[in-house]
Amino acid sequence: MNWYKIRRAKPQDKAALHRIERACFALPWSADELIKDATENILAVYYVAEAAGSPGAVSARSGDTPGSTSPGAVSARPGDTPGSTSPGAVSARPDPLLVGYAGLWVVLDEGHITNVAVDPDYRRQGIAAMLLLKLLEAAREKGAKRFTLEVKRSNAAAIALYERFGFRAAGSRKGYYEEDGEDAVIMWTDT
């Protein structure tokens, strides 16, 4: 079983965030845009998933994904030592491996999800679900009561992920995506 830490993004994550962004999107944000939004925009909240091996943040077990049970079902076990067999033996890694990130903006009582991206080599391990869980929790603490996002109509993986978190389609934006003119589905949840 793999372990990941879900923690807030920080300026040092710039290159790793951009690597993931480029691997996931046809028209990636620039590294500067992304790190600025992630760490300087006071309306924004960004979390990253870091492969276990360095100390700090919340540790979560990838096998414990939310959705089928209740939000909060991810086990955050700060006492556990991710990536290590002997409890307490934290191995510091100088260059932690980021495998995913997710971000949103909170404007008044609405949270607008801007990005959810997981390195293709690390998908289907519950990483996006762990990121979303932390993101929505942090956004609620900032006052968000409902959440929205746009997603490509053909992006079945993302739509299935969002539906697990209670998002439902509530409209569309025609030709929203610059790279191929595909429509966006607008999704909302107030849970």
Ligand X SMILES: CC(C)(COP(=O)(O)OP(=O)(O)OC[C@H]1O[C@@H](n2cnc3c(N)ncnc32)[C@H](O)[C@@H]1OP(=O)(O)O)[C@@H](O)C(=O)NCCC(=O)NCCS
Q: Is 112 in the site for ligand X (CB under 6 A)?
A: no
3-state helix, strand and coil shares in percent for the chain, rounded to the nearest 5:
25, 30, 45
162 in catalytic set: yes
**Which of these ranges, 6-14, 37-45, 71-79, 153-161, lies near ligand X under the rule CB under 6 A?**
153-161
Q: If DSSP codes are grouped into helix, strand and coil, which group holds residue 126? A: coil
- Burial environment of residue 150 by CB neighbours within 10 A (0 to 12, 13 to 18, 19 or more): middle
The binder of ligand X chosen from 51, 60, 98, 127 (CB under 6 A): 127
**Complex with ligand X: residue 106 or 131, whichever CB lies closer:** 131
Residue 98 is a binding residue for ligand X (CB under 6 A)? no
Of residues 54 and 115, the one with the C-beta less far from ligand X: 115
Residue 168's Cβ-count burial label (10 Å; 0-12, 13-18, 19+) is: exposed
Query: 180: buried, middle or exposed (CB in 10 Å: 19+, 13-18, 0-12)?
Result: exposed
Taking the complex as a whole, how short is the minimal distance between the CB of residue 124 and ligand X, in angstroms?
A: 5
Q: Pick one of 65, 101, 103, 105: the residue that binds ligand X (CB under 6 A).
A: 65
What is the rounded CA–CA span in Å between residue 79 and residue 17?
27
160 interacts with ligand X by CB under 6 A: yes
- Contact footprint for ligand X (CB under 6 A): 24, 65, 116-118, 123-129, 151, 155-158, 160-161, 164
